[in-house]
A and B are shown apart, each in its own frame.
Chain A
C-alpha cells in the first residue's frame, strides 16, 4: 500500500514570499512516480509535474521548483516569489506504471496581497 503525507494542512504567506510545500510518499514499490497537482478555487485539477523514482534531479520551471530525495521519500515543492494567483490547494502523491494515483490530503495555500 502507498501512503502520502503532506505535512502542512494550510499555509498562509504574503505575496513575494517563498513557500515550500512538503510531501512524503511511502511505498514498497521499487519503481514508481511522484506528482503534484494544483486545484485553484475554480475546482479543476492542473497538472504540475511528474517525476520518476529513479530520477533524483531537481527540476525548475519558472517560479516553481521540485526537490526529490529518494532516501527520505520526500518530494517537496517550492514556489519562489509567490503571487496571489498561486492561491490553491496543492496535492502531491504517487503512482505506478498502471496509472493508479494515490493522493495526499492536500495543502491549502493562501497568498495575501
Chain B
C-alpha cells in the first residue's frame, strides 16, 4: 500500500477565490488521480494527473476550473478555481503504487464554499 496525505484536510472559502489542494505519497507511484465526492454522493473522477505533462480530464471537468500539476512521482496538486457553493465537496487523490494494482485513496479535503 501507500501512505497518502492531503493538505488542507478541510477549508472554508469565499465565493470567487481559489484553493490548491496538495497530495503527497510516501513512495513513488505509477498513477495518481483526483476525485470529487459531493455531499451524500458517490465519487466522480475529475482527472488523471500525469507526471510531467498535462492532466487528462474526464467529461464535465476542464483545466481552467481544475488545474492539476504533478511535478514528480510522489506529489500532485489540484486547484479549484473561481469557487462557487456548488464546488463544496470532498476532494480525494488516489494512487496506484508501483508494482501493484490496487488503488488507494488519501484522507480527502473537505471544502465548503460560502
A interface list, Cβ under 8 A from B: 33, 35, 37, 43-45, 47, 50, 91, 95, 98-106
Flag if A104 contacts B108 (CB, 8 Å): no
A35 CA to B96 CA, complexed, in Å = 14
Starting from the known contacts A35-B103, A100-B48, A103-B44, 14 additional A-B residue pairs (CB-CB under 8 Å) come to: A43-B110, A44-B107, A45-B92, A45-B108, A47-B105, A99-B31, A99-B48, A100-B33, A100-B45, A101-B43, A103-B42, A105-B41, A105-B42, A106-B42
Flag if A101 contacts B42 (CB, 8 Å): no
Flag if B101 contacts A33 (CB, 8 Å): yes
Interface assignment of B102: CB less than 8 Å from any CB of chain A: yes
**Which residues from chain A contact B90 at a C-beta distance below 8 Å?**
43
Q: Is the interface of B mostly helix, strand, loop or mixed?
A: strand
Interface range for B: 20 to 34
**Proximity bits, B52-72, A CB within 8 Å = 1, else 0:** 000000100000000000000
Flag if A101 contacts B103 (CB, 8 Å): yes
B89: min CB distance to chain A, Å? 12
Flag if A103 contacts B96 (CB, 8 Å): no
**Which residues from chain B contact A37 at a C-beta distance below 8 Å?**
105
**Which residues from chain B contact A33 at a C-beta distance below 8 Å?**
101
B107: min CB distance to chain A, Å? 5
**Which residues from chain A contact B94 at a C-beta distance below 8 Å?**
101
Flag if B108 contacts A43 (CB, 8 Å): yes
